[in-house]
Copies of this chain bind each other. A is one copy, B any other.
Amino acid sequence: MRTVGASQPEETARAEEPGRPAEHGRAGGAAGVKTARGTRARGTRQAQALAVALDDLPGFCSAQEIHAALRSKGETVGLATVYRHLQALTEAGSIDTIRDVSGETLYRQCGTSVHHHHLTCRNCGRSVEVEGRAVEQWAEKVAAEAGFTDVGHTFELFGVCPQCAG
């Protein structure tokens, strides 16, 4: 498993507070930015918590890590819900996803919505966004030459960042 900068107390107390009634469903006072159908971006307590968590995490991290981070902060969010929101956010273009070497999907909040790629530290997950106009163009050219259509690409850079190297 990769390790991320954020602390991940492994012995997270599994037993919830005894008296606490099982919380469920949407949060109490959340404003609720309702989108058309199915996915409201951050109306619920869980969505809000996830957004905050993504803000805090420095680089790319897996859904499981995010879930663990939420847990360790005291938030109670189901793993399934984490995946759901992550997926929705990805589709909405609010966050970036990459695949690490083992095939795990890593997520990260992303500023720009324009297409770009990442140079990610394989140790701490921190990443730099790189704008790859050159690569895009090259890819299109190559594809066109081969007669391929409807071309997409995946491109990721992994390395060790200055901090982790030093």
Contacts and interface: CB of A to CB of B under 8 A. Distances in A.
A158 B151 contact: yes
A157 B135 contact: no
Interface of A is mostly: strand
A118 to B, nearest CB: 10
Q: How many copies does the complex hold?
A: 2
A118 B143 CA distance: 10
B158 A155 contact: no
Interface range on chain A: under 10, 10 to 19, 20 to 34, or 35 or more?
Answer: 20 to 34
A153 B162 CA distance: 17
Given A119-B142, A154-B156, A155-B153, A162 B147 contact: yes
A113 to B, nearest CB: 21
Contacts of A143: 119, 157, 159
* CB-based closest 10 A-B pairs: A148-B159, A151-B159, A147-B162, A155-B155, A103-B103, A150-B160, A153-B157, A128-B146, A154-B156, A149-B160
